[in-house]
Amino acid sequence: MDFSREFIALVCELGVLRFGEFKTKAGRLSPYFFNAGLFRDGESLRRLCGYYARAIIASGIEFDMLFGPAYKGIALAAGTAIELARGGRNVPYCFNRKEAKDHGEGGMTIGSDLAGRVLIIDDVISAGTSVRESVELIRAAGATPCGVVIALDRMERGQGELSAVQEVERLYGLPVVSVASLDDLIGFLADSPALAANLDAVRRYRATFGVARAAA
């Protein structure tokens, strides 16, 4: 998808995607690091959520509303709802509190009531904890989780042979849509003279820790 490579170009331009040597939560030395927290002004967030909206539309997933898990998912869900509305699809959105509120309107969520088919919007999937909590919350409200959308799929093995994304897909039976993947990154590096020096390291990392989409 053309927008996936456009997205990779954007994250490289903004320094959201950096190259070097970075230790992951799994203790691996990764040649790249993606930090969605660096989308921290209005224009960059608008552009990011525009890519989320395009990925959602391209996926063909049928949904009724968006849900953003606290904390990073809050801005992502709100921004993506705005971009979808700009494109002619106005949908409600909702996000959760970390702690239940026992005064005022109370409850665990803010925004529209959870109902119908709910699409979860988050930055990445690492251990899958955020997705599990979101799925439980959505189901407890009587709604149906219908998919997860993330910015980057690292396509990297978790504890077993599957990636964190594939584990979520298998465990919950939900499709996971990413704006871009490690394969998109490798393709972009191969065509980018300014960044090509990083290509071999990323390819080696992919060969050592990567998984194929077909394994899902």
**Which residue is catalytic, options 23, 25, 72, 103?**
103
Distances (CA, A) of 76 to 15, 114, 145, 159, 160: 19, 17, 17, 28, 30
What does pTM read for this prediction? 0.91
From first to last of its 216 residues, the chain has per-residue pLDDT tens of 589 999 999 999 999 999 999 998 778 899 999 998 899 999 999 999 999 999 999 999 999 999 999 988 999 999 999 999 999 999 999 999 877 655 555 578 999 999 999 999 999 887 778 899 999 999 999 999 999 999 999 999 877 889 989 999 999 999 999 999 999 999 999 999 999 999 999 999 999 999 976 433
> Distance between CA atoms of 182 and 101, rounded to whole angstroms?
40
Q: Is 146 helix (H, G, I), strand (E, B) or coil?
A: strand
CB contact set of 199 (below 8 Å; sequence gap of 6+): 186, 189, 190
For 191, left (φ over 0), alpha (ψ -120 to 50), or beta?
A: alpha
CB contact set of 53 (below 8 Å; sequence gap of 6+): 80, 83, 84, 86, 87
> Distance between CA atoms of 11 and 8, rounded to whole angstroms?
5
Q: Are 195 and 19 in contact (CB under 8 A)?
A: yes
DSSP state, residue 139: H
Active site residue 72: no
Active site residue 103: yes
> Distance between CA atoms of 34 and 216, rounded to whole angstroms?
23
> Distance between CA atoms of 62 and 44, rounded to whole angstroms?
27
**Which domains, ranges and CATH numbers included, belong to the chain?**
2-215 (3.40.50.2020)
